[in-house]
Amino acid sequence: MQRSWRQDSDKLTFIACLPPSSPLTSNTTITPKQDDAPSRMIGDINLFLVDDDDDDETKPNTSTPKSVLGEIELMIAVKSQHRKGHGRASLLAFMHYILTNTAAILQEYSKNRAAILRYLRVKISKDNVKSIALFESVGFERTSAEANYFGEVELRLQVQGKEDIVLSDLEKVKGWDGKPFVVGYREV
C-alpha cells in the first residue's frame, strides 16, 4: 500500500507532524526518525487527481490539454492536536506546494500530455462546520447551499490559469506568515 501511494501518479500525500521544538529558519534541518518519528505524526493531507468528466476525451492524443480536477482530504487524527492550527498550517503549505508545482504534478499524472488543473475541491460532512470554515477561509466556495445525498458539502477553489493569483490570495489569508521555505533533511 505504501509503495502504491508513493508510485501512483494520481496521489500526493504529505504527513503532518508536530513542528520542531526550535523555531524554524531557513537553516533548519529536519532530522529523520527524530523530527518525523511516528510519535510526532499527527495526520495527513492528500491530493487525488481525476480526469474531468466534462472534458472531451474523444481526441486523447490531440494537443488539447487534458482537464484535471484535484480533491483534497485533510485529517488531523490526534484529537489532542485539534484546534491548534495544525490543519490550517498543513492546508496552506500543501496548497502552496500544489500551486507552485502544478506543471510537474500534472505532467506526471497525464503521462506528459498537456493538462490543466481546473479546480481543487473538498467534500466535508455538513456537520463539520469548523472544517468547512477552514476551507472557506482560504478561498474555497460552496457549490450548493444544501448538502448532497451523503450529507456532504462540496467546496471548490478555481485555479485554472490563475495559479499565481490564487498564490497571492493565499498570502493574504489570516494566519499566513509568509511563503513556506524548504528546510534541509539530514540523512541518517
Domains of the chain: 2-176 (3.40.630.30)
Nine-digit cell string for 185: 533533511
* Rounded Cα gap, residues 91 and 141, in angstroms: 15
pLDDT score of 31: 79
Q: Report, as an integer, the average pLDDT of 101-130.
A: 92
Higher pLDDT, 168 or 123: 123
Rg from Cα positions in the chain: 18
Tell me the pLDDT band of 40, cut-offs 50, 70 and 90: very high
In the predicted model, what is the mean pLDDT of the chain? 84
Residue by residue, DSSP assigns 106-140 as: HHHHTTTS-EEEEEEEEEEETT-HHHHHHHHHTT-
> Which one-letter amino acid corresponds to residue 37?
A
- At 54-67, the pLDDT tens digits run 765 555 556 688 89
Nearby residues of 147 by Cβ (< 8 Å), 6 or more positions away: 126, 153
Instruction: Supply the pTM of this predicted model.
Output: 0.85
- At 163-188, the pLDDT tens digits run 777 777 777 776 666 655 556 666 65
